[in-house]
Structure 1
């Protein structure tokens, strides 16, 4: 049920849809899937599901306070420090990762994050399914679907080594550059 609903959804939602008030994304727990009309990398297909995420995330000692609405909205307008999806997309799009603030946070800085937000508004679409305990289905989805932008629990994916190396190089370069705003 979840595989088909995320890979072939009845509707995909744009940034304008998601960021409108009150917006269509429910304020509940669930699983979300990201589709891209234009591929962020020449080695990846366009027009299909490339990434799934969950909200909230279950950690060893607690469950995060996130929900679908907060998480999906943050992916569309947040930054690479708080969004693995944005970090991955920015690296694939060859945006420059930088240390910001105190120097411990890594983002694409002001201009890069704005460029990524524009790219996502044009090419990224999202769908979701409500689920009270989304962490119980995440591993199964990653195992059953070809999700090249997911790294966690996804070492079997052929794109995993390339993406892991690309992100590591971006982090290394960022640490060699001065802190920016």
Structure 2
């Protein structure tokens, strides 16, 4: 990866301080209500997830980057999502159907945390509210985040996934070898013990 990419996104890739998920759950104002790119860091191994080539910050490894809002549609409609809404509503408080990262974590942790994952009528993976709360609790202990403000975050996200550090939990635009195994796991055709 080019050094200037690291320099441009230093607060995202090499933050002085990671913000623990438990702190965000207690005070959502720690995350700006603005557009940007966020990194999700984890302080424990996830079943089968390779850590080679990932960035490390203390005990945490950067495993995923995301954006808020998504790129405008071809018709020109834009999302009103912000970093705060995306992280606090979708990742730390909603259901697995509303967050790619949350869904991946649920499937990876299905066996060790004994999650019951099923499919709704629309074909989306779902869990009970109790399991969703346990996933949020797990994230409160093991997840942290970094972010960088950006007016057009979708341009940065693609560059980070294709040219940046290894990000084994990203799926779109990813050429990471773990991508296909994660997709298979999320399809319900394999278990995390098969990884």
1:3–1:145 contact (8 Å) kept in structure 2: no
Deviations 1:4-61 (A, max 9, x none): 4323211111223223346211111000000000122244337210000000001322
2: CA distance between counterparts of 1:126 and 1:82? 19
State the TM-score, normalized to the length of structure 2. Answer: 0.79
2:49–2:168 contact (8 Å) kept in structure 1: no
User: 1:111: how far off?
Assistant: 2.1
CA distance 1:2–1:109, shift in 2 (3 Å): farther
Partner of 2:74: 60
State the TM-score, normalized to the length of structure 1. Answer: 0.85
- Aligned pairs, how many? 169
CA distance 1:113–1:121, shift in 2 (3 Å): same
1:55–1:134 contact (8 Å) kept in structure 2: yes
Partner of 1:150: 170
1: CA distance between counterparts of 2:28 and 2:109? 31
- 2:176 alignment partner, SS class: coil
> Is 2:42 aligned against 1:33?
no
- Greater Cα offset, 126-135 or 1-10: 1-10
CA distance 1:29–1:78, shift in 2 (3 Å): same
- 2:152 alignment partner, SS class: coil
Partner of 2:132: 113
Match of 1:73 among 88, 92, 108: 88
Partner of 1:127: 146
Match of 2:119 among 81, 99, 102: 99
> Is 2:99 aligned against 1:83?
yes
1:76–1:117 contact (8 Å) kept in structure 2: yes
Gaps of 5+ in 1: 174-181
Gaps of 5+ in 2: 1-6, 52-58
1:31–1:54 contact (8 Å) kept in structure 2: yes
User: 1:138: how far off?
Assistant: 1.0
